[in-house]
Amino acid sequence: MRAIAITQPGDPDVLQPRIGPLPAAGPDDVLIRVAAAGVNGPDLAQRRGHYDPPPGASPLPGLEVAGVIAACGKTVSGWREGDRVMALTNGGGYAEYVAVPAGQVLPVPQNWSLAEAAALPETWFTVTQTLVMRAALAPGMTVLVHGGSGGIGGAAIQICAILGARAIAVVSSPEKAAYCRALGAVASIDRTREDLIERVMAITDGKGVDRVVDLIGGDMAATNIDLSARRGHIVQIATLGNASATISLRKMMAKELTLSGSTLRPQDAATKATIAARIRADLLPALNSPEWIKPHIERFPLDDAAGAHRLMETRGHRGKLVLVTAFGAAGDGT
């Protein structure tokens, strides 16, 4: 099969097409013929040599795909050859085939192309595990979403909308603000022109936000504490600005705040299956509605994975970038 290899750590050009064997699928796995693979922030970190795959995972990049089931392992039930699926992979998504534990597979929502579906799993699993399950997101809560126009940010905004919470998106341009509002954000803050704390306090009548989804870290950690409501919860998903921070523990104590962090990829199969079950039960039904606003996607041919990484690094995109295989381009309206 054709797959994209990371030939050495480095710039996007180290992503090169290679021909290799089909992945081995175990008894609990399904083998997916990939139509499209989503591109995510962690892929960039892996390509640069800063995010090694966990032991036993594919060394190829690619944490999410959509396609058609080509084969099912012996113990797999509930899925059949030919089913249209989307899946969180353990790596190896930038390829024509990938083997995935069956518990990490979800049905494609109605009226979604496989390219649109390929853009969903990684961010929705991440936000579901952190914001929904660990931080106990509840209806009526107000949530500040940093990087609102990106992959994680868009997922957080839409999940808030489904669960009756009110997302405030942090963005860097009026176009990105409009995009986040279209996804369901109730308000937006342009971080290049506006003061985050002042705007949050104005929007929340001085109360602060109940939850923060932070991708930035560094100085933003102290800001997040200042703009949080009493008993708030700050969910640290990335540190795009700086991995180190100086914060006032006294302020955290006074406000009874929680700060939690995690990374999805090293979680075990049972945990990922639990997250998948939660998405299927509580979130996917909304996506079957014809009125549902799908996140914006931009398509690249699989062989041009480097081009997708380049665009993501310039932050010129909104929504998600997906790589389409020859199978995806030939069939299915990707």
Verify binding: residue 137, ligand NAP, rule CB under 6 A.
no
**Residues 6+ positions from 221 with CB-CB distance below 8 Å:** 214, 234, 245, 246, 247, 259
Q: How far apart are CA 187 and CA 160, in angstroms?
A: 13
Q: How far is the CB of 56 from ligand NAP (least distance, A)?
A: 18
* Amino acid occupying residue 28: D
Asked if residue 271 binds ligand NAP (CB under 6 A), the reply is no
For residue 27, the minimal CB distance to ligand NAP (Å) is 27
Rank residues 129 and 332 by Cβ distance to ligand NAP and give the closer one. Answer: 129
Question: Of 15-23, 177-185, 259-267, 269-277, which part binds ligand NAP (CB under 6 A)?
Answer: 259-267
- The one among 30, 209, 312, 322 contacting ligand NAP by CB under 6 A: 312
Q: Counting contacts by CB under 6 A, is residue 12 touching ligand NAP?
A: no
Q: Which of 12, 23, 42, 184 binds ligand NAP (CB under 6 A)?
A: 42
**Residue nearer to ligand NAP on the CB measure, 236 or 334:** 236
Kindly write out the interface string for residues 159-188 of this chain, putting x where it contacts ligand NAP by CB under 6 A and - elsewhere.
Answer: ------------xx---x------------
> What sign for the dihedral angle of Cα 178, 282, 66, 308?
positive
Q: Does 152 bind ligand NAP (CB under 6 A)?
A: yes
Of residues 37, 215, 235, 245, which one binds ligand NAP by CB under 6 A? 215
CA distance 52 to 43: 10
218 contributes a contact to ligand NAP by CB under 6 A? no
Is residue 252 near ligand NAP by the rule CB under 6 A? no
CB atoms within 10 A of CB 29: 25
Choosing from 62, 150, 208, 295, the residue that interacts with ligand NAP (CB under 6 A) is 150
Q: Is 315 left (phi over 0), alpha (psi -120 to 50) or beta?
A: left
> Contact between 41 and ligand NAP (CB under 6 A)?
yes
Spell out where the chain has E strands. Answer: 2-6, 15-19, 29-39, 64-72, 84-88, 97-101, 105-107, 142-145, 166-171, 187-190, 209-214, 228-236, 258-261, 297-301, 320-324
Rounded to whole angstroms, the Cα distance separating 102 from 288 reads 22
Nearer Cβ to ligand NAP, position 2 or 48? 48
Conformational region of residue 190, where left means phi above 0, alpha means psi within -120 to 50, and beta covers everything else: beta
Judged by CB under 6 A, does residue 274 bind ligand NAP? no
Q: Considering the rule CB under 6 A, would residue 151 count as an interface residue with ligand NAP?
A: yes
Distant-in-sequence, close-in-space partners of 202: CB < 8 Å, separation ≥ 6: none
- Angle, in degrees to the nearest 10, between helices 151-163 and 174-183: 40
Residues 61-80 that bind ligand NAP (CB under 6 A): none
> Which of 20, 45, 136, 230 touches ligand NAP by CB under 6 A?
45
Q: Is 301 in the site for ligand NAP (CB under 6 A)?
A: no
Strands 297-301 and 320-324: parallel
Positions in the binding site for ligand NAP (CB under 6 A): 40-42, 45, 122, 126, 147, 149-153, 171-172, 176, 215-216, 237-238, 240-241, 262-264, 312, 315
